[in-house]
């Protein structure tokens, strides 16, 4: 009964490179959420997705950031042409299907720490 898996746990990229962060939701979960967290700060919502659909991307920067959750395989958060300001912890969460109660509970992975040099 594995939890939410994220990889890599740590990622170092030089300015201008691309970063790909992966998230495998808990078994049976239908929705994936991506958050960004700077040191000593709270969680900032970025995007949430259902299989093959972006539901709400109101927290995503307009440029360089994209997310997908394909029919098969993990969800991917992609950051193109990274800059130093992209350095942060990126967390993925997943939730079960449904429209009431426990379907709103989000379960988090351990995060990916991105460092841009």
Partner 1 sequence: GQQLNQSPQSMFIQEGEDVSMNCTSSSIFNTWLWYKQDPGEGPVLLIALYKAGELTSNGRLTAQFGITRKDSFLNISASIPSDVGIYFCAGQLNAGNNRKLIWGLGTSLAVNP
| Positions that interact with partner 1 (CB under 8 A) | 4, 31, 33, 41-43, 45, 48, 55-56, 58-59, 91, 93, 95, 99-111
Distances (CA, A) of 79 to 7, 42, 54, 67: 15, 21, 16, 9
* Whole-number Å distance between alpha carbons of 14 and 57: 26
48 or 116: CB nearest partner 1: 48
* Whole-number Å distance between alpha carbons of 102 and 68: 24
Q: Write down the least CB distance from residue 78 to partner 1, Å.
A: 20
Q: Which residues contact 106 (CB under 8 A, 6 or more apart)?
A: 33, 93, 94, 95
16 or 98: CB nearest partner 1: 98
93 or 116: CB nearest partner 1: 93
24 or 106: CB nearest partner 1: 106
* Whole-number Å distance between alpha carbons of 25 and 33: 9
Q: Write down the least CB distance from residue 41 to partner 1, Å.
A: 8
Q: Are 92 and 4 in contact (CB under 8 A)?
A: yes
Q: Write down the least CB distance from residue 81 to partner 1, Å.
A: 25
Q: Write down the least CB distance from residue 75 to partner 1, Å.
A: 15
């Amino acid at each position: 009964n594995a939890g939410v898996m994220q990889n890599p746990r740590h990622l170092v990229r030089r300015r201008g490179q691309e970063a790909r962060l992966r998230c495998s939701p808990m078994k049976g979960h239908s929705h994936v959420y991506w958050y960004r967290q700077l040191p000593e700060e709270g969680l900032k919502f970025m995007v949430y997705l259902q299989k093959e659909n972006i539901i709400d991307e109101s927290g995503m920067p307009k440029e360089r950031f994209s997310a997908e959750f394909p029919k098969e395989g993990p969800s991917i958060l992609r950051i193109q042409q990274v800059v130093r300001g992209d350095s942060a912890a990126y967390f993925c969460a997943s939730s079960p299907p449904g429209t009431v109660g426990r379907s709103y509970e989000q379960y988090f992975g351990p995060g990916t720490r991105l460092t841009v040099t």
